[in-house]
Amino acid sequence: MKPTRFALVADTHIACRTEGNAALYPQRLARVVAAINQERVDFVLHAGDLTDNGTEEDVALAQKLLQPLQAPLMLVGGNHDFGGKLVAGRNDNVTAERIALFEKALGPSFFAERFGGVRILGINASLLGSGLPHEERQWTFLAHELGRSPNPPTILLSHYPPFVDSADEPADDYWNMDPAPRARLLALLRAAEVRAVFSGHLHRPVLHHLGGIALVSAPSVSFGLPIGQPQGWTLATITSDGLVDVAHRYIAD
Q: Are strands 232-238 and 4-9 parallel, antiparallel or unpaired?
A: antiparallel
Domain ranges of the chain: 4-250
Could you read off the pLDDT tens digit of each residue along the chain, which spans 253 residues?
A: 788 999 999 999 999 977 788 999 999 999 999 999 999 999 999 999 999 999 999 999 999 999 999 999 999 999 999 999 999 989 999 999 999 999 999 999 999 999 988 999 999 999 999 999 999 999 999 999 999 888 889 999 999 999 999 999 999 999 999 999 999 999 999 999 999 999 999 999 999 999 999 999 999 999 999 999 999 999 999 998 888 999 999 998 7
Produce one character per residue of 82-102: b if its CB has 16 or more CB atoms within 10 Å, e if not: bbbbbeeeeeebbeeebbebb
Looking at the whole model, is its pTM more than 0.75? yes
Angstrom distances, CA of residue 236 to CA of 4, 116, 148:
8, 15, 25
Helix (H, G, I), strand (E, B), or coil: what is residue 26?
helix
Please answer whether residues 158 and 198 qualify as being in contact, where contact means their C-beta atoms are separated by less than 8 angstroms.
Answer: yes
Spatial separation of the C-alpha atoms in residues 110 and 121, rounded to whole Å: 7
**DSSP string for residues in 174-202:** SSS--HHHHHHHHHHHHHTT--EEEE-SS
- Type of residue found at 134: H
C-alpha–C-alpha distance, residues 186 and 35, integer Å: 33
User: Reading across the β-sheet that carries 244-250, which strands appear in turn?
Assistant: 73-75, 43-46, 4-9, 232-238, 244-250
Helix 56-66 vs helix 96-106: crossing angle, to nearest 10: 30
**Distances in whole angstroms, Cα of residue 135 to Cα of each of 67, 95, 238:** 30, 11, 29
Among 69, 82, 60, residue whose Cα is nearest residue 160 = 82
Let me know the angle formed at the C-alpha of 60 by 56 and 62, rounded to the nearest 5 degrees: 115
Integer Cα distance of 228 and 3 in angstroms:
34
Q: Is 139 left (phi over 0), alpha (psi -120 to 50) or beta?
A: alpha
Best CATH choice for the domain 4-250 from the list 3.40.50.720, 3.60.21.10, 1.10.3430.10, 2.60.40.1230: 3.60.21.10
